[in-house]
Amino acid sequence: MRKLALLILFCILSELGLYLQAQPLVEIYLNSRGSESRGPAFKSVEELHEVLVLDQAKTPSFRVVKQFNAQGKVVSEIKYNSAGGVQNEVRWEYNINGYPIRKTTHQFINYKGWVNEEITLKYNDTTGYLNEINKSVESKIINTALVSCDSTGRIVEVRVFNEKGELSGIDRLIYVPANNLIRVLSYKANDQFVMATAYPLDPDKPEPKSTLKREFNSHGDVILELLPGSKIGQGYYYEYSYDTFGNWTEKLTYQCTVTPNGNVKDKKLEHRITRKIVY
């Protein structure tokens, strides 16, 4: 049953990808601030994802190929299935200051066919601060977000409206420098709390705390996650191989049990990602 569930999860993630997002609309901006490389800027990265827990003659897999600009910002990401067919394609555009201005997604969804999504970001002509985000599906605007910033340019609130112009949600941002944390609190239009999402205040520093108990290695990569609410100490353990610049080239994911004193046991290899990096 667990293997069947993992296969179903793998298929869902492979097919839905970025189309069904539960994350705040402002995430595209918050995730664009740091470099993905710990050394020279990436030119391209090719990732091979493999599910290893399933007892099958052929290992389920897919590839992700990313291209970067001279500043190390990702400009395209194409996902291929195991047969080499394109599952989705994402492209980014940036302004002269390196901030994102457009993200387009072209993706095949079962029972829908090919779906096109576009997110555009607008900035104040005087201050340069982000002030509006629009999300469209098949050229029809489905969300407009009005962004409020403080005098330093930090985003403090995002009010999201639907295609009818009705307020559908509010995101409020809280900054905690001591924990290197930006916490996005999402609410419905009636101010009912929905969820909280955490982002690093400085992407080049260690990740902020989360609801997961985590341990990190000397490279700053997570090596152990204890799932919240797990009565038997269930978690995930990660192993990495690195190149000379400190960027990982292989990542192994194990399901494991974590004892009360923090020891890891019963590791079962489930997933492998290998990366080919060009600088």
Query: What's the confidence (pLDDT) of residue 262?
Result: 78
Parts of the chain with a pLDDT under 70: 1-22, 54-57, 208-212, 229-231
Query: What's the confidence (pLDDT) of residue 17?
Result: 40
Query: What's the confidence (pLDDT) of residue 53?
Result: 76
Place of tokens 């985590």: 214
Residue 273 phi, psi dihedral angles, 5° rounding: -125, 125
Query: What's the confidence (pLDDT) of residue 20?
Result: 38
Structure tokens at 54: 């399933």
Query: What's the confidence (pLDDT) of residue 146?
Result: 99
Query: What's the confidence (pLDDT) of residue 209?
Result: 63
Query: What's the confidence (pLDDT) of residue 21?
Result: 44
Is this model's pTM higher than 0.95 or not? Answer: no
Q: What is the pairing mode between strands 193-200 and 167-176?
A: unpaired
Which of 72, 63, 22 has its CA nearest to residue 196? 22
Q: How far is residue 206 from each of residues 66, 98, 176, 201, 203, measured CA to CA in Å?
A: 24, 22, 13, 10, 8
pLDDT tens by residue, 58-86: 788 999 999 999 999 999 999 999 999 99
Query: What's the confidence (pLDDT) of residue 94?
Result: 98
Helices (H), the chain: 2-16, 27-30
